[in-house]
Structure 1
Amino acid sequence: MSLRPNLLSFGLALALAGGLAACKPAGNEASAPEPAKPAAAAPAAAATPVSGVDLAGMDKSVKPGDDFDAFANGGWRKNFEIPADRSNYGAFTVLLETAEKRNAELIAQLAASKPADGSDARRIADFHAAYMDEAGIEKRGLQSLQPQLDSIKAIASRADLSRVLGAGVRADTDPLNATNFHTDNLFGVFVAKSLDEAAYVATLMQGGLGMPDREYYLSQDKDMAATRAAYETYIAALLKQAGVADADTKAKAILALETKIAKAHAPVIDSQNVHKSNNPWPAAAFAQRAPGIDWTAFFDAAGLSAQKTVVAWQPGAIAGIARLVGSEPLPAWQDYLTFHALDHAAWNEPLRGPGELPKAYTDLAFGFHGTTLAGTPQARERGKRALDATSAALGDAVGKLYAEKYFPASSKAKVEEMVHNILAAFDERVDSLAWMSAQTKAKAREKAKSMRVGVGYPERWRDYAKLEIRADDALGNRLRAELQEYRHQIGKLGQPVDAGEWWMTPQTVNAVQLPLQNAMNFPAAILDKPFFDPDADPAANYGAIGAVIGHEISHGFDDTGAEFDGQGKLHNWWTPEDSKHFAEATQKLAAQYSAYEPLPGLHVNGKLTSGENIADVSGLTIAYMAYRKSLGGKDAPVIDGLSGDQRFFLAFGQTWRSKIRDAALRQRILTDGHAPAAQRAQTVRNIDAWYDAWGAKPGEALYLAPEQRIKIW
């Protein structure tokens, strides 16, 4: 599970920030091991470490015990305006902008070097050039999309429809690493190690909605009703722009069909439950268990015809959607698919920005997806979007250059040392838990010791030799990259499991825990200021990036991670008594978060965000232990009038510095597995040392009596 965005996880915080997405890169088989060459060693640390915290951003008129987020970040929030091209802005965005600037430099240098045809450097330069060619995009119009539109128009039977649906699936969902359950295709495919054995398996997941979640279709809330009306208007406008006749009537029918799909969907909370989702179906049984689709035609078009087993992640939803495929009129499905093809090309959902169609289309798409759904007044400038799109499509090719130039060996070594220290603190923490049996402790410690840790960049890089990139075809480049990524993913089927597989690129501002691999990835781009500063005092580094590391370690033991053993197998390794205590503690934490009300009448869903909340509390706990241990029994220096413990917790609070527009906040609360940033900063209230550091007292809003503080790991 990642830190975020929907990329998930710290995940959606990043996606809503509107920067480099946590996308898996398109590519073919991994190339031979070739680690990035380390950059030159960083300058020696300053004699007197900097504090690593932002004193000017604080609001000292607020008591830490009343609102630690406001205390740590209130000064910054009062004076900062969210840029018009973003739905939110915060500490993560600073990292995103750093990565963005560096990618701009790399790509500019590549273009100037006139790279050889067929090289990754040429692919990067051509992809970027095509995206920036606005005149060429206007001239091409729908040309790159026409083959897809023609195949939709040619549908004359349920078998034809099933083939088109199968040909359209992509590897755009990820229920375990990125906790990404959304795809605008009717189904998504996730390829990873089986939950039960050491073999790759394809998982089919529900999809088909143009809005973020079933609640947008089914909720009676007045804001949701208004959003539905805006969506219908957008559907009609996009169809009209493409010259589709009777667009208003078709828009109503498309929304009605999507509403039926939404009713078939499983709620996100159910989708998070791996036990409900572990449904390996014989491929031959789909016709009986989910009638309505010609599954032979579907799997053949999807490249899955050789698979004897396919996992049905949401079996009820898959059966319900299949019934609609078999019962709804073919013209209704043709209109639906036409709209979704246009919408997908006009809006790049993983990057949360306009796509590669002419401006008339992308303006319409941004008006709905960017403004109505996320509250963002204007789109990011094309140059920045071009960088994001290039980085997403050619992730490892860009990432290899990024790691070589911007991630020095000295930083890698220092972060690896911190990871080692925090893992050791976790081991010590487990050993001290009074409520846990010796049997469960032994299993937990075994799992922690066998965790694989990737810092900075992967050991193997993707090969893009089979990916065609043209300097005059922006949309075609993106569509081919998406298809190549899908082919790469299904190409793993039948191959030995790669326990060292990376799921993020070096230039991604995020981190991830991989339960099926019992592994973690910490990309180079998140290992930078303000999260990590090799010249800063350890207190700030442990409070910021240390808490991120602790968060990802703890994901291995949250309400989902605790279901997996040290080999990444779905296996209950708890005693019944320990399971009961764990469930009670997580329920109390869920209740604590559900009491938060970020928008009037809209509370955090403590159950939906449970895994991330557990990881925040546990990660902060072990990061603090590791920080104290790093002092070797000595007192931390006082810097800028702050003790070491004060700087540690302040750095953590400033990690969650953020401002967010109401529409984007509403979407996050309803759909994301992470609590909003302001509430995540309040995690400190469960840590005893925070009370000692900042003097929170009874009667203050965040104060919890010692017995009320949630301690899980």
Structure 2
Amino acid sequence: MERPGRGGGTANEDNKQQERSLRRDDAHQQYVFSSLRVFALMLRSVFAVLAIASATASAASFDIRGMDRSVRPGDDFYLYANGQWDRDTVIPAGAPFVFGTVNARRTSIERLGSIVDELAADPASRAGALYRSFMDEARLDALGLGPAGPMLRALTGLRSKEAVAEAMGRYGNLGVSTFLAGTVDDDDRRPGHRALHWTSDGLGMGDRAYYQPGTADAAKVAQAYQAYARQLLARAGVPDAPRLAAEVLAFERQLAAPNSPEGGTPVYDKVSLRDMERRMPGVPWHTVTRAFGWPEGRAMLIDEPEVLAVRAAAFRKASVETLRAYLIVRFLDAYAPYLSHDVADLAFAFDQGVLKGVTAPKPRKERGADLIRRFIPDDVESIYAARYFSAAARAEVKALTRHVRDAFARRLANVTWMDDATRKRALGKLDNVIIEVGYPDTWRAYKGLRFEDDDLFGNVVRGEAWQHEWNVAQLDVPVDRHEWRCLYPSTVNACSDDTRLALFLPAGFLQAPTFDPDADPAQNYGRLGETVGHELTHQFDRAGSTFNEDGLRAPWWPAAVRERFLAREDALVKQYDAYEAAPGMRVDGKRTLGENTADLGGLNIAYDAYRAALDGKEPPVVDGFTGDQRFFLSFAQNNHGKYTADGLRHVLLTNEHAPGHQRTFEVRNVDAWYRAFDVEPGDRLYLPPSERVRIW
């Protein structure tokens, strides 16, 4: 599960947060995504929304036809479970990869589309007005850059660093990603309270890996980004665009120089405005905070102190001309999708084509629905939840999650690397985790937010401004742990929140193949049960373990316990470092460690929960497969996916998840898998019991 950085905005299935800062498609967030660590199931689903073409698997939860029984399970369990699916599946034109959740995503998209069609036909509908403004392509092309003119002229008129700093704050409030970024989010040392946060953002290429020299891929992307920046500056009428584009890239390389602490270890650095001015001189901090609309005299948290210090130094050294060009590029990149096709196509070619390997945009109707969910998601999500997720299904999922939680508790009670005191606190923390199923119990009204049929650009500006004002207004509002701030109810995904000790399972996620009320328990536990277990373990991994049973950022593992945990993880790093996803392209065991650890824990926990749910009875053999075999096959099929070369390269370079093929290899660390499929020495995946990684 990925861990994007802070930033008020909307939860977005396509995860524009990743695209713009990713720290990580068409929008950034609104269920105040900010400080939470979202563990989205990216490789199973995030970009699968692009894959709207037909997949060969049926809607049933278990796909026997997708297997390749000519492969020995112990040689390559992924191909045994998915080999025929892999051969038959065609990656849709324009998509970088396709996943088994494609049918679920298609269903969610179609359901949302029908809701949006109803709202679009209503002249009085706020959502309908926003949608109609987006769909009027002829008007957008006729207007060209005109709607952006006033904001562009304000940027080209900047003549001092004081003015640049004020613009960074003001434009940041309107959805423009800059390196001086801030938001309101939970105070990790004061559970239930919020604080002002300085965050890391503002990189045009998104991931810092692209700014580091040494790889041909990074150099290729950097060259393309410089060309993109040059084109945007030229469209804005900025003289000497080629030189300034090169300066923007060089400036961003300075911004990207530092890295976050290894393993995502959280940092808590609370400062006053005077502290900021003393530690990072040369930046008009007071001007920026005033532009953010932050109340004066309040302490602030710096999420990545070293990063912000380097960025402040880059600001001091840069010329006003360079900073001005940087802001123009960031502004046009943010608003390009809401301007004429010539500008929007430029942004798509880089943001999606170069960075993601996507060659064709999603249908405009889908992007119109995404825009509604960007600003007023509950206007459509409340209808989706009432129409497509029954109370009976909600109750059944809640029962499954209870079994999984109980199974994890039993494992926690017996882990040998914890001492008794740590184990007791771990069990207490698990008891405090809440699991939200389907949808929120309350919906937001977005009071005062209005949209016009004929003003798309203005609608986006108003939507961003409303979100920012709402975000700042939450500063003194007590935290609601049940708030859905990371995903929409219709999203085919799941997330976990460290600070609020909460796990979210949206209605869109709780459909076949992940969950099917008509499927046999082995399949539901192998898919949804593994996901729930995976998410729960994130509360106890390298980052999650730095939050105690109350959600307070306060490391509570003794040094000896942590060392034993890290030693077991190191063995998993070595396993994954040895996997080659394609010739010359290896998995990075350290980058993917958090997700690999959670996959392993989730699989063991879900298996225990499945066996406990059977209450001592042996399940029937179905289609020649035992219950245990169906459980592990369901897990493997939950990971199936197919990539283009560029899509795979992007995933390996930037993502915290291993490709699905390699994620499936977690089975080689699970004793029950060996028994289920008679895996023996000589099989390629076989590991002696002493070499199997055992964490949870």
TM-score by length of 2: 0.90
Q: For 1:332 and 1:579, how far apart are their aligned partners in 2?
A: 45
SS of alignment partner, residue 388 of structure 1: helix
* Aligned with 2:142 (options 123, 139, 143): 139
Q: For 1:640 and 1:75, how far apart are their aligned partners in 2?
A: 17
* Aligned with 1:573 (options 540, 556, 571): 556
Query: After alignment, is 306-315 or 540-549 more displaced?
Result: 306-315
Describe the superposition over 1:236-275 as per-residue Cα deviations: whole angstroms up to 9, x where unpaired.
Answer: 2233333333222222222222222222xx325548221x
Q: Does 1:550 align with 2:529?
A: no
| Preserved contact between residue 20 and residue 508 of structure 1 (Cα < 8 Å) | no
Query: After alignment, is 600-609 or 587-596 more displaced?
Result: 600-609
Alignment of 1:284-363 (within 5 A): 284-306=274-296, 308-346=298-336, 355-363=337-345
Distance apart, 1:111 and its partner CA: 2.6
| Preserved contact between residue 11 and residue 32 of structure 2 (Cα < 8 Å) | no
Q: For 2:15 and 2:582, how far apart are their aligned partners in 1?
A: 18
Please tell me the residue identity of whatever aligns with 2:546.
E
What's the counterpart of residue 186 of structure 1?
179
Alpha carbons of structure 1 residues 404 and 115: separation in structure 2 relative to 1, 3 Å: farther
Q: Does 1:411 align with 2:393?
A: yes
SS of alignment partner, residue 500 of structure 2: coil
Q: For 1:329 and 1:271, how far apart are their aligned partners in 2?
A: 35
Q: For 2:96 and 2:26, how far apart are their aligned partners in 1?
A: 14
| Preserved contact between residue 21 and residue 508 of structure 1 (Cα < 8 Å) | no
Q: Does 1:531 align with 2:534?
A: no
| Preserved contact between residue 51 and residue 639 of structure 1 (Cα < 8 Å) | no
Q: For 1:425 and 1:9, how far apart are their aligned partners in 2?
A: 31
Describe the superposition over 1:351-400 as per-residue Cα deviations: whole angstroms up to 9, x where unpaired.
Answer: xxxx2221111222222222222112222221222222222222222211
Q: For 2:263 and 2:423, how far apart are their aligned partners in 1?
A: 29
Q: Does 1:241 align with 2:235?
A: yes
What's the counterpart of residue 104 of structure 1?
113
Structure 1 unaligned spans of 5+: 28-49, 117-121, 173-182, 347-354
| Preserved contact between residue 254 and residue 336 of structure 1 (Cα < 8 Å) | yes
Please tell me the residue identity of whatever aligns with 2:182.
V
Distance apart, 1:15 and its partner CA: 7.5
Distance apart, 1:281 and its partner CA: 1.5
Distance apart, 1:51 and its partner CA: 7.6
Distance apart, 1:554 and its partner CA: 1.2
Alignment of 1:42-57 (within 5 A): 52-57=61-66
| Preserved contact between residue 15 and residue 27 of structure 2 (Cα < 8 Å) | no
| Preserved contact between residue 94 and residue 360 of structure 2 (Cα < 8 Å) | yes
Q: Does 1:450 align with 2:432?
A: yes
Please tell me the residue identity of whatever aligns with 2:164.
L
Q: For 1:171 and 1:710, how far apart are their aligned partners in 2?
A: 47
Please tell me the residue identity of whatever aligns with 2:160.
S
* Aligned with 1:254 (options 233, 244, 248): 248
Alpha carbons of structure 1 residues 679 and 269: separation in structure 2 relative to 1, 3 Å: farther
Please tell me the residue identity of whatever aligns with 1:249.
R
Distance apart, 1:19 and its partner CA: 7.2
Q: Does 1:680 align with 2:674?
A: no
* Aligned with 1:203 (options 197, 206, 219): 197
Q: For 2:598 and 2:426, how far apart are their aligned partners in 1?
A: 15
Distance apart, 1:230 and its partner CA: 1.7
Please tell me the residue identity of whatever aligns with 2:374.
A
Alignment of 1:259-658 (within 5 A): 259-263=253-257, 266-268=258-260, 270=262, 272-274=264-266, 277-306=267-296, 308-346=298-336, 355-503=337-485, 504-658=487-641
Please tell me the residue identity of whatever aligns with 1:108.
D
Please tell me the residue identity of whatever aligns with 2:213.
S
Distance apart, 1:11 and its partner CA: 9.0
> Structure with the greater relative contact order (CA < 8 A, sep ≥ 6): 1 or 2?
1
Describe the superposition over 1:175-194 as per-residue Cα deviations: whole angstroms up to 9, x where unpaired.
Answer: xxxxxxxx842233343221
| Preserved contact between residue 90 and residue 658 of structure 1 (Cα < 8 Å) | yes
* Aligned with 1:69 (options 45, 54, 78): 78
Alpha carbons of structure 1 residues 367 and 19: separation in structure 2 relative to 1, 3 Å: closer
SS of alignment partner, residue 348 of structure 2: helix
| Preserved contact between residue 190 and residue 203 of structure 1 (Cα < 8 Å) | yes
| Preserved contact between residue 18 and residue 206 of structure 2 (Cα < 8 Å) | no
Q: For 2:500 and 2:376, how far apart are their aligned partners in 1?
A: 24
SS of alignment partner, residue 60 of structure 1: coil
Describe the superposition over 1:496-526 as per-residue Cα deviations: whole angstroms up to 9, x where unpaired.
Answer: 2222222222112211111111111111110
Distance apart, 1:210 and its partner CA: 0.5
| Aligned sequence identity (%) | 34
Q: Does 1:89 align with 2:98?
A: yes
What's the counterpart of residue 695 of structure 1?
678
| Preserved contact between residue 377 and residue 488 of structure 2 (Cα < 8 Å) | yes
Distance apart, 1:307 and its partner CA: 5.1
Q: For 2:270 and 2:418, how far apart are their aligned partners in 1?
A: 33
Alpha carbons of structure 1 residues 80 and 225: separation in structure 2 relative to 1, 3 Å: same
Query: After alignment, is 622-631 or 159-168 more displaced?
Result: 159-168
Q: For 2:438 and 2:327, how far apart are their aligned partners in 1?
A: 40
| Preserved contact between residue 184 and residue 196 of structure 2 (Cα < 8 Å) | yes
SS of alignment partner, residue 201 of structure 1: strand
TM-score by length of 1: 0.88
Alpha carbons of structure 1 residues 699 and 423: separation in structure 2 relative to 1, 3 Å: same
| Preserved contact between residue 163 and residue 298 of structure 1 (Cα < 8 Å) | yes
Structure 2 unaligned spans of 5+: 34-58
Alpha carbons of structure 1 residues 644 and 14: separation in structure 2 relative to 1, 3 Å: farther
Query: After alignment, is 640-649 or 246-255 more displaced?
Result: 246-255
| Preserved contact between residue 77 and residue 658 of structure 1 (Cα < 8 Å) | yes
| Preserved contact between residue 171 and residue 191 of structure 1 (Cα < 8 Å) | no
Distance apart, 1:229 and its partner CA: 1.6
Distance apart, 1:449 and its partner CA: 1.1
Distance apart, 1:578 and its partner CA: 2.1
Please tell me the residue identity of whatever aligns with 1:651.
S
Q: For 1:219 and 1:362, how far apart are their aligned partners in 2?
A: 29
What's the counterpart of residue 152 of structure 1?
155
Query: After alignment, is 4-13 or 225-234 more displaced?
Result: 4-13
Please tell me the residue identity of whatever aligns with 1:380.
K
Distance apart, 1:26 and its partner CA: 8.0
Describe the superposition over 1:515-545 as per-residue Cα deviations: whole angstroms up to 9, x where unpaired.
Answer: 1111111111100011110001011001011
Q: For 2:134 and 2:496, how far apart are their aligned partners in 1?
A: 33
Distance apart, 1:599 and its partner CA: 4.0
Q: For 2:683 and 2:132, how far apart are their aligned partners in 1?
A: 56
Query: After alignment, is 253-262 or 531-540 more displaced?
Result: 253-262
What's the counterpart of residue 43 of structure 2?
none
Distance apart, 1:552 and its partner CA: 1.1
Q: For 2:489 and 2:216, how far apart are their aligned partners in 1?
A: 42
Q: For 2:173 and 2:239, how far apart are their aligned partners in 1?
A: 29
Alpha carbons of structure 1 residues 289 and 188: separation in structure 2 relative to 1, 3 Å: same
Q: For 2:297 and 2:97, how far apart are their aligned partners in 1?
A: 43
Please tell me the residue identity of whatever aligns with 1:502.
W
